[in-house]
Homo-oligomer: A and B are copies of this chain.
Amino acid sequence: MPDNKAVVKTGNEKSISPAVIKRLPRYYRYLGDLLKNDVVRISSKELSQRMNVTASQIRQDLNNFGGFGQQGYGYNVEYLYNEMGKILGLDRTNNIIIVGAGNLGQALANNQDFDSNGFKIIGLFDVNPRLIGMTVRGVEVYDIDMLETFLKEHEVMIAALTLPKSKAVKVAEQLVDLGIKALWNFAPVDLHFSEDILVENVHLAESIMTLSYRIHSQNQ
């Protein structure tokens, strides 16, 4: 097995295109499924058929991180899965807080996919007294006024924003002031911070509009 760890850690990732980055979790998911089905190795051709992408794209994507394949052998599934996990930062525990404990915040807290991938939700926050004090899958909902204290006592990697648009910008600014470096934003608003603050948006309304566009342009 080639030792690609050195390549993985050179920091080359910084120049990797967003399109490649977006595809990495999908590789990770497919490799995880293969692993669960006790598949030991897979050729790029087989993997490409399952994933419905070209074998050449798979090879190109993985070459960004040093390759991982061996001519005539293909990919060792467990090794590639673990390496992909390291690349995605899933070999560490990534503590998450969720700000906004309504349905969407609770849906995230209830999503078991996150646990198995190194993400750990350690607190929910809300302004609503009816929600404060309840627990979701063992995770407590705190008063949003407790944010500062909580963030002093816990190392939090990511804050999810599941708040109404009207509150999201102010709360995001507060979180950044308190040292949060990565925001997973579900509010339908763009957040503007300096480059060292990472923002990943999940704009649900935009996703369904894209679908609506495709439906109606097809019908025309």
Contact = CB atoms under 8 A, between A and B. Distances in A.
Contacts of A13: 213, 217, 220
A207 interface: yes
Interface string A176-220: 000001101000101010001010101111111111111111101
A158 B206 CA distance: 14
A55 interface: no
Interface in A25-45: 25-26, 28-29
Contacts of A214: 21, 182, 198, 200
A103 B113 contact: no
Interface of A: 9-11, 13-14, 16, 21-22, 24-26, 28-29, 51-52, 87-90, 92, 94, 96, 102-104, 106-108, 110-111, 113-114, 117-119, 157-158, 181-182, 184, 188, 190, 192, 196, 198, 200, 202-218, 220
Contact of A188 (B29, B96, B203): B29
Contacts of A90: 209, 212
B200 A202 contact: no
**Copies, count:** 2
Contacts of A104: 103-104, 107, 111
A220 B11 CA distance: 6
Contacts of A213: 13, 21, 24-25, 87-89
Contacts of A184: 207-208, 211
Nearest to A91: B216
A211 to B, nearest CB: 4
B198 A202 contact: no
A181 to B, nearest CB: 7
A25 B220 contact: no
B205 A202 contact: no
Nearest to A209: B25
A10 B220 CA distance: 7
